[in-house]
Amino acid sequence: MSRALICGSLAFDSIMVFEDEFYNHILPDQIHKLNISFLVPSLKKELGGVAGNIAYNLHLLGGKPVPMGMVGQDFDPYREKFDGLGISLEAVKVKSDHYTPQAYITNDLSNNQITAFHPGAMNFSHDNHVGDYADISIGIVGPDGREGMIQHAREFAKNDIPFIFDPGQAMPLFDGEDLKQFIEQATWMAVNDYEFELVCDRTGWDGDEIAKHLEALFVTRGSKGSDIFANGESISIPVVTAEKIVEPTGCGDAYRAGLLYGLMNDLDLTTTGRIASLMGSLKIASPGPQNHHFTVEEFKQHFVKEFGYDYD
């Protein structure tokens, strides 16, 4: 089976809950000399990062993911999990004098967030090269170090490997000309609706112009589902109602894993979007980005129940 090279971060997420509202403890007229601490009785540590999350979800679907990223001296717990799952780590390189990327997220009772992110070894993502790995039929360039994202997109194009461009949280790193270059190199692009507006604003291109440079443009819209723009037409993909809503962290990555699976298996765009939508629904019912579980057969049964046909 061909493999998907997933370029992006592998990270540890420390998620804390402050059992009050931030605004009760921050004086607006004293922001200029802010010095405050929050007691956070609840703390959980999760495996995360876009490359790790997408790889985990593609594995659940029965695909062959190859996450590609730079990690640090503290990566062993992540390695242990992925080794146990049989997910290849051949494209994950260790910088022994740095830490694996870390996100420290504090939520209050209104779901406001204060986040600090330490990129660590991710700053060296350009030390990894697309051409070093065999049997790759598709790729994705997700949020990563700026130089690495530019290099990996160029290498996918040079090696004639179709890929998804997913700027995500890395959007602030790129101006309009950078984004135009990515779009012209990419085969597909996946963004949420806010990121889509940013891309339009920075490039000066509207959605029709962006779609002209791609085989398909995927725009997610949260609870409103997603839209696919291709060949001058649009396809509306409804959201799949979740069994329960627990935590949205990682839903976008689950969706992108569904896209990769459909595209690398030559499924039509409607079916591909529906697989992606169902993946997001199954993820949101579990806490953290990598704690949901199902077999390939269970997923297929979910799909048939939701859409009335088998995608195989």
Using one digit for the tens of pLDDT, what is the confidence trace for 58-85? 999 999 999 999 999 999 999 999 999 9
Domain that holds residue 267: 3-26+40-307
pLDDT of the residue at 34 = 84
Residue with tokens 């080794």: 83
Cα angle 6, 188, 240 (rounded to 5 degrees) comes to 80
pLDDT given at position 76: 97
* Encoded tokens for 42: 């609840």
Q: Please tell me the distance from the alpha carbon of residue 41 to that of residue 300, in angstroms, as a whole number.
A: 40
Task: From 257, 227, 256, select the one nearest 239 (Cα to Cα).
Answer: 227
pLDDT in tens, 109-145: 876 878 888 999 999 999 999 999 999 999 999 999 9
- Is 126 exposed, middle or buried (CB count within 10 Å of its CB: 0-12, 13-18, 19+)? middle
Dump pLDDT digits (tens) for 29-51: 888 888 889 999 989 899 999 99
Rg over CA atoms, the chain = 19
pLDDT at 183 over 70: yes
CB atoms within 10 A of CB 312: 8
User: Does residue 224 belong to any structural domain of this protein?
Assistant: yes
Strand 92-95 versus strand 65-72 pairing type: parallel
Structural domain includes residue 119: yes
> Is 118 within the bounds of a domain?
yes
Examine residue 83 and state whether it is found in any structural domain, yes or no.
Answer: yes
pTM for the model: 0.93
d(CA 142, CA 144): 6
Q: Which pLDDT score is estimated for 1?
A: 64
Structure tokens at 164: 């998804």
CB atoms within 10 A of CB 89: 19
Amino acid at 110: S
Count: domains in the chain: 1
Q: Specify the CATH number for the domain of residue 188.
A: 3.40.1190.20
Helix, strand, coil content of the chain in percent (nearest 5): 40, 25, 35
Q: Determine, yes or no, domain membership for 48.
A: yes
